[in-house]
Each structure stands twice: as structure tokens, then as C-alpha cells.
Amino acid sequence: MLFFTFSKIFNEPKNVMFLILVIASSPWLLTTSRWGMDCNISPFPLIIGVSFILLGTTRKSHELFQSIFYLLGFLMLALTAYAYNVAWLYLPFIFPLIYILFLKKKLINWKQVIITAACSLIEILPILIFAVRSNIKSLNHTVKILFWTSPKLPLGRVNDSFIDFHHQTLLHIFINIKSFVKIMLVGSDNLPWNSIQGFGAYYLFVLPFFIIGLLSILKRRAVIDYLVFFLFISSIPTLLLVIPNFNHLMFLHFPVLLIIGIGIIETIKGENKNIMSGILLSYLCMFVFFTHEYFNQSRYLRTGWNVSTSQAIMDINAKKYKKVYFATDLDQFLLVIRDFSPVPTSPYQYQKTKENPYRVADFPKEKFLNYQKIMPVTKFAKKSLILIEQSLLPQYINVSKQYQFVKTVNIGGADYNVYQTSQTN
């Protein structure tokens, strides 16, 4: 869709190619597309919405088609509010900025503004009510309207993403800015599943192109330039108020990539084949290095969710044994077991093992299925397995001497010795 949209906006195919190259090969997009999380969804309705709005600007002579594109575009933008709560801070800025720009450039009329704004408000209304009720205690109670019931919400999630607004807000904003600068300079937010140090969200070598692109759009001031700039500055409040990591910065990435692409387009003006070849080769090399590092086994070991864990748990085949005792330093050992164990036939059975909003206690750390943590008073049952993390073997010398060693398995990045108790009753 971006390719089709850019083809309508930019005249030269090479410009479209470089814009698509910058976006499609970016570490941010590649990483975001690899694993599911609510905040990873937000950029996609944003990109689709911006594409529809840009297509609407190319339909000046057909008001009906233009109105349809605008309506689809603004509805998609509004849809981001359902993906993650950071959008609640982003949308109040980007919506009015686009309306002001298009009204000034006579790309939209007041009827289209009213229709798109009204429809978007209707779409956002349920999540707006949810946002208010879940974060303002006095308004959070069960509401019944005829056959419809809206239950009291157990808790809000604003504290998971935003800074503390109750104590030393300015200090927290300053810390946020420092953290953001560090993340961008180092090229990682220290979440191994989320980023790889040295690569950043866009590759670190593109900084000159970002500067060139930003200066270019500020000087040229075409409609596409204004729109990209507004997308960029609308994300600035999130930099100040949202705890920074590459997921929380979701609304920053797309406009930054567009600015980088525009900077490259400005750089290759004049058909300089050496510069074009150099940029293409740089992206190719960085893409190869990034994908190699991303899928490297050592990276998964740092996350605690390495790819060999699934096979190791299947090889243990816990169902064959009465108990599977374990000794480990991994605090979330049973979560790893839960997530990598074969999914039960019934999704309802699996759901019972997952956290839910009304669960008071955390996920159990001592018992799950037939897995049981070794305690000082534990007596090992027959027809059972014993898993001892190798770093803890000196504490369990008696186990290694008394029971039969079976094999070594790697779970969550740590090696475990597997022992088997007697098979007779």
C-alpha cells in the first residue's frame, strides 16, 4: 500500500524505491513484525491511515472519492487508540494538525472535516470511556444500561507506560529525555527481544540522511513535507511523558524513516550512481549483519526464551512421569515451562493457566502441572524426573549420587542435569 501511495506522490521510481527500502529494511519494522504485542500493532493502522489520507490529496477533482479516502484514513488513525494507550497522547495532536494543514492548503472542506471528525469520535468513544474509567478511581464503577453492563475495571495500565505524574514530574521528564538520547546513541533499549545494540531502530549510519531530510522538508514545505513534519512533532509529547523503549516510541519511527528516505532522495539528486550504489550496498550489508545477529542463538540466550527450550521441554515429556522436580535460579522457570509446553487440546484449559485481570496472586513459582520445585522437605516420588541447574549442583550432591543421570537439557538459557528416580512402585 505504501508503494502504491508513494507512486502517486513521487514522480521518479527510484525515489519510491528508496523510501520503501528505508522503511522495509529498518530494524524497527523487522523486529516489530516478528513478535506480537499490543503496542506493536499501532504503527500499522497509522501507516495505512496516512496512506489513505495522502491518496485523498491526489483526488481533488473527485470529491466523493476524496471523501472516502479521507474517511478511511482518519478512521484508521483513530483505530490506533485501541492498540495501545500511548495513542491517547498522540492522536489529540496529529488530528488537528492535519485538519489545519489541509484546510489552509484547500485540500479538504468543512463538510469533510465534520464527517471524518464525527465518525472518528464515534469510533474512539468506547476506548475513551475505558481510558477515563480505568484511570480515574471515582469514575470506575459498574454501570448498567438496559441489557448492557459495563463492569468495574480492576486496574489501569497507565503506570506501565507513562512517567509518574504525581511526584517530581519535571525530574521524570528530564530522566526520560536522557534515557531517550542514550537509547538512540547506543542503538538499543536493552531489551534483547526488542532491539540489538549497535543497529538502532533505523541503522546508526543514517543520521546524516535524517538531518538532510529534516532540513529539506523545512525548506521545501510541500504538503507531503508538512504532513511528515506534523507526524514527527506529534510524537514529541510521547518522548517526554512515556517511558522510552523502542515499543513505546512506536509513533516516532514511521515519520523518522520517512525523513531519512527524503534525505536519501535529496542526496542522490543528479543521478550520481556512485552515491546510489554506496547507499544500496550499505543497506544490504547492514541488513545482512542485522538478520544474522537477530537470529543468532546467543541473542536468544540473553532473553531467557531461546529456541531450543521448546524441544528440550518436549524431550522431557513430563506426562510420562508422576513428578518433575526442579531446582533453578530462574525466577520465571514455570512461566517458561507453561509457554513452551504443548498447548492442550482445549484452549479453555490453556487459558486457565494464564494470568487474568482478577488474579490476586502472581503465576505460581513452586508448582505447575506435575512440575514441583525442590524444597528442603521434598521427598522424591518414584517414576519421576529431577532437573538440577548445573550452577546449583554443589548444593545437590546427594541427588547426583543417588539417582540415575539421564541427560543434559537447556531451558531458558541455563543447562540442567536430568536425573530419574526408581521406576518401580
Tens digit of each residue's pLDDT (9 = 90 or more) over 120-133: 999 999 888 887 77
Would you call 392 exposed, middle or buried from its count of C-beta atoms within 10 A (0-12, 13-18, 19+)? middle
Q: Calculate what percentage of the chain has a pLDDT beyond 70.
A: 89
CA–CA dist 14, 29 (Å, integer): 21
Task: Please give the single-letter amino acid code of residue 329.
Answer: D
First to last CA, the chain: 65
Cell of 102: 489541509
CA–CA dist 237, 398 (Å, integer): 59
Lowest mean pLDDT among 11-20, 142-151, 242-251, 389-398: 142-151
CA 404 remoteness from chain centre: 45
Supply the pLDDT for residue 229.
96
Alpha-helix runs per DSSP H in 10-109: 13-24, 27-32, 38-41, 43-57, 63-79, 87-104
Q: When comparing pLDDT for 139 and 200, which is higher? A: 200
User: What confidence tier does 10 reach under pLDDT thresholds 50, 70, 90?
Assistant: confident
What mean pLDDT do residues 60-69 have?
Answer: 89
Cell of 373: 520445585
Supply the pLDDT for residue 360.
44
Q: Evaluate if residue 357 carries a pLDDT over 50.
A: no
What mean pLDDT do residues 140-156 have?
Answer: 74
Supply the pLDDT for residue 300.
56
User: What confidence tier does 371 reach under pLDDT thresholds 50, 70, 90?
Assistant: confident
Helices 87-104 and 63-79, packing angle to 10 deg: 160
Q: Give the three-state DSSP class for 100.
A: helix
Supply the pLDDT for residue 168.
81
Which residues 6+ apart lie within 8 Å of 19 measured at CB? 2, 6, 10, 258, 261, 262, 265
Q: Cα–Cα distances in Å, from 328 out to 37, 266, 366, 380, 382?
A: 28, 56, 11, 16, 21
Contact 84, 40 (CB under 8 A): no
pLDDT in tens, 210-246: 999 999 999 998 999 999 999 999 999 988 888 888 8
Q: Calculate what percentage of the chain has a pLDDT beyond 90.
A: 36
Closest among 357, 274, 366 to 325, alpha carbons compared: 366
CA–CA dist 409, 313 (Å, integer): 8
Q: Evaluate if residue 51 carries a pLDDT over 90.
A: yes
CA–CA dist 313, 21 (Å, integer): 40
Q: Evaluate if residue 283 carries a pLDDT over 90.
A: yes
pLDDT in tens, 291-349: 888 877 565 555 555 667 777 888 888 888 889 999 988 877 887 887 777 665 566 65
Please state the φ and ψ torsions of residue 12, each to the nearest 5 degrees. -90, 130
Helices vs strands, H then E, count in the chain: 20, 8
